[in-house]
Every structure is written in C-alpha cells, then in structure tokens.
Amino acid sequence: MSVRSTTLDNGMVVLTDDMPHLESASLGVWVKAGARSERRAEHGVSHLLEHMAFKGTKSRTALQIAEAIENVGGDLNAATSIEHTGYFARVLKDDVVLAADILADILQNSQFDENELEREQQVIVQEIGAARDNPDDHVFDLFQAAAFPEQPIGRTILGTVDSVRDFSADTIRKYMNRNYVGDHMVLAAAGNIDHDGLVEVAQQRFAELKPNGAPAPQRAEYRGGEERLVSEHEQAHIVIGFEGRAYNSDGFYAAQVLASILGGGMSSRLFQEVREKRGLCYSVYSFHWAFADSGVFGVAAATGEDEVGDLVPVVLDELKRATETITDEEVIRVRNQIRAGLLMSLESPSARAGQLARQQILWGRPIPMAETVERIGRITAKRVQEVAEQIFTAGTPTLAGIGPIGNLVDAGAIGDMLKR
C-alpha cells in the first residue's frame, strides 16, 4: 500500500497516495463539520462559509484565487454535506504546492468582506431556488426533514432564504473558529505527489489553525414520519426510508450489501421487478447513508400519477422479500462489485483523495482495501436478511413525496404493510 500518513503539530492529518505514473494530482482539505454542526441560529452557515472561502483573503481577491488555479489549467471546488465540508483542487503535478498554498490561504485568511457577503447571499438565494426546481433533489430535503425533525441533521444544507440573508460575517467567523480546527481537518492527496514535500508545505502554511476543541454536534434522533408537497410535476417523486446504521455500528457493512442487492445496479431486485418486469419507473434505486451516530436506508423512485398506487406495494413487497430470500449468489455479486469499485477508485486521483479523507474522518485512519474486502467477505446472506428485518420493522418509516401524489399512502400505512 502506497498510502502515507503524517499528523502535523496542529493535529491535521496529511494523507497521500502516490501514483507516480500520473501527470496530475488531486488534493483537498476535508473538514469534519457540516450542516449538522450548526447551532439553531446558524442554519445554512456551513454552506455559506464554503462559498465565502472563495471570496478573498488577506492577500488575494476572489478573482486572484480563481485565476491562480485556472491560469495553470487546474480547478478548485468545494462541497458541503451533512457531516463534512471539502475544498479540493485538481492540478498538474508541478502545481501541487500552488494548490496547497491556495487551500491554506482560503481556509485561514478569508476576509468575509461585507460587500462580497451580500452578493454571495444573493447567489445562495438563487441556489436555493435551483434546488427547489429540481424535484429529485428537493424530495431528499423533505425526506431528511421527515426522518430527523427539529434537529440540525434534518435541516437543509443550503439553509432558507431568510436564514441565509440574515447572516453577518461575524456569524461565519464564529462557526469557522469553532469547527475548523486541526484535529478535525484532513489534507488528502492522490496522484503524482511527494508526501514529505506536501507535509513540509502543510506544516508551514496551516500553522495558524487552532489544534482542537470543536464541540460534538447534537446527537441525531431518528423519528420518521412524512413530508409531502403536491405539485404539478409530471411524475410523483418518492423516497421511502428507515433508520440506517452508523459508520461504526455493527450492521453497517450488511446494510451496504443490502442496499446493493435491493437497488444497486441493473441486476438488482428493484430494477428487475419495478423497471424490467413492470415498466413502472425509469429511475428506481436504494441507498444507505451512514452518519456518525445514525443513518438512513431508503428507496427512491419516480413514476407517473397513475402508477403511484402500483409502485409502493411492489417496492414494499421487495423489502419484505429481502428479509427472507437473500441468496449467496447475490451476496457474492455485491462482494465482486464492491471489490471492483474499490480497485477502480484507486485509479482515479480525485476519487482516491476523497476516499482517504473520508476514511480518516470516519474511522480515524485510512482503511486498506484488503480490510474492506475482508469485512464485506464476512457478510452472509443470513446476516443481510437479519439486518433487513431489523431496519424495515424498527420505528416509524419515513416518506417524502413531491408531485401528483394524491394517491400516495401515508407513512403509517407503510409501516403496517411491512409488519403484516
């Protein structure tokens, strides 16, 4: 394994995977803080900070940041999720130090100028409008809210028009000072990378970070329930879900295997039953998203108004069947899919850098591929059935729907149908 890891004086971990045959590298800083790290009055500030980090530092304007990386043909981007925020660049190998320098600058020296802030608040108001115009995205916001009501983990990442417009530069600074601390940040790089050189740069350039002290986010409490929005879309966009498994919990790997068997590809049960045998959907899939202390397991589908009534019972039948009929053949297929997927991700510097950073944040170390393969290899068909039974019958299901959903059952009825 070519992965090397060094912990800096400030607690930040530097991880690299050298791929010497490449001409480029991907590198980024991932922070263990996201939407769920926000306090009540901070809804949307994680994402606003992720935008404002590109709007100027003590020594660079917003335009200079963009030009510095794009003049050498690189690109720079960022993304905010529920538990993490990532800032990442892809550059040619000679520009790795430049990229690291820019990342360090925007993460320690951003100015949050009032005029820039006002314009960026308008940009995010537009982004909120764009997200609401995409029902496939919007339905997941409703789903998360229904699963975790009245908690930061259930709120939208983008915030609301009102919350985003209200923020001052001071709110951003307080959130950043609290959460962007060395031992909650990982600098990960993959591609044509010199580990020792990157560590030296990082040691110098990230010297201003506070080493630790970030508070833990409010504990997630899955409750379930429903959120619906009747609208004039062509399709009913639906997500049905349950509490999933936390990263470090016992059933995590079995839940991952279950999600693949149910809806992970063309040979999966939902694709075969819902699309291939019945022609009810173009898109149907299942997912398992783990958090530090909870998770969600679900099925997403979209279908016409006339087909909604047929779709839900067919999906629920497949969930029930999964508690009793998982085959060894299916488990072996998923094992091969996960192994091949890991091998292929090792060949993409961007995928690889993100993977290393997430593993460090979630498990405290990079996980060797052989270890993941070995853990998946221990999952039996019987174990997948057990975890399916636990997931589908525990607590209240979650249901979210957007579109012509007059015929859609309610979350309580879904629970009853699954327990019958």
Instruction: List the interface residues with a copy of itself, window 19-78 (CB under 8 A).
Output: 21-24, 54, 62-63, 65-67, 70-76
Of 177-185, 287-295, 299-307, 391-399, which segment contacts a copy of itself by CB under 8 A?
Answer: 299-307
The answer to the question of residue 281 lying near a copy of itself (CB under 8 A) is yes
| In the complex, minimum distance from the CB of residue 75 to a copy of itself, in angstroms, rounded to a whole number | 6
| In the complex, minimum distance from the CB of residue 214 to a copy of itself, in angstroms, rounded to a whole number | 29
Residues assigned a catalytic role: 50
CB 173 within 8 A of CB 182: no
Among 58, 114, 215, 266, binds a copy of itself (CB under 8 A): 266
| In the complex, minimum distance from the CB of residue 141 to a copy of itself, in angstroms, rounded to a whole number | 13
CB 47 within 8 A of CB 87: no
Please, which residue, 62 or 408, has the CB nearer to a copy of itself?
A: 62
Task: List the 235-243 sheet strands across, edge first.
Answer: 225-230, 398-403, 235-243, 295-304, 284-290
C-alpha to C-alpha distance for 312 and 301, rounded to whole angstroms: 9
Please, which residue, 134 or 248, has the CB nearer to a copy of itself?
A: 134
Binding track, positions 304-343, relative to a copy of itself; x by CB under 8 A: x--x------------------------xx--xxxxxx-x
According to DSSP, residue 48 is labeled: H
C-alpha to C-alpha distance for 8 and 244, rounded to whole angstroms: 34
| In the complex, minimum distance from the CB of residue 338 to a copy of itself, in angstroms, rounded to a whole number | 8
Cβ-proximal residues to 165 (8 Å cutoff; 6+ apart), any chain: 121, 125
| In the complex, minimum distance from the CB of residue 108 to a copy of itself, in angstroms, rounded to a whole number | 20
Of 4-12, 84-92, 101-109, 317-325, which segment contacts a copy of itself by CB under 8 A?
Answer: 84-92
The answer to the question of residue 233 lying near a copy of itself (CB under 8 A) is yes
How many amino acids of this chain bind a copy of itself (CB under 8 A)?
Answer: 76
| In the complex, minimum distance from the CB of residue 112 to a copy of itself, in angstroms, rounded to a whole number | 15
Please, which residue, 182 or 264, has the CB nearer to a copy of itself?
A: 264
Question: Which residues pair with residue 189 across a beta bridge?
Answer: 16, 27
| In the complex, minimum distance from the CB of residue 367 to a copy of itself, in angstroms, rounded to a whole number | 18
User: CA triplet 316, 330, 372: central angle to 5 degrees?
Assistant: 110
C-alpha to C-alpha distance for 283 and 270, rounded to whole angstroms: 10
99-128 residues in contact with a copy of itself (CB under 8 A) are 118-128
170-229 residues in contact with a copy of itself (CB under 8 A) are none
Neighbours of 82 (CB within 10 A): 21
The answer to the question of residue 347 lying near a copy of itself (CB under 8 A) is yes
Neighbours of 406 (CB within 10 A): 12
CB 95 within 8 A of CB 49: no
What residue type is assigned to position 320 of the chain?
A: K
At 28, list the tokens.
């980024």
Of 40-48, 205-213, 346-354, 381-389, which segment contacts a copy of itself by CB under 8 A?
Answer: 346-354
C-alpha to C-alpha distance for 242 and 106, rounded to whole angstroms: 38
The answer to the question of residue 237 lying near a copy of itself (CB under 8 A) is yes
According to DSSP, residue 73 is labeled: T
User: CA triplet 86, 61, 82: central angle to 5 degrees?
Assistant: 20
Look at residue 38 and give its three-state secondary structure: coil
The answer to the question of residue 230 lying near a copy of itself (CB under 8 A) is no
Please, which residue, 26 or 398, has the CB nearer to a copy of itself?
A: 26
The answer to the question of residue 259 lying near a copy of itself (CB under 8 A) is no
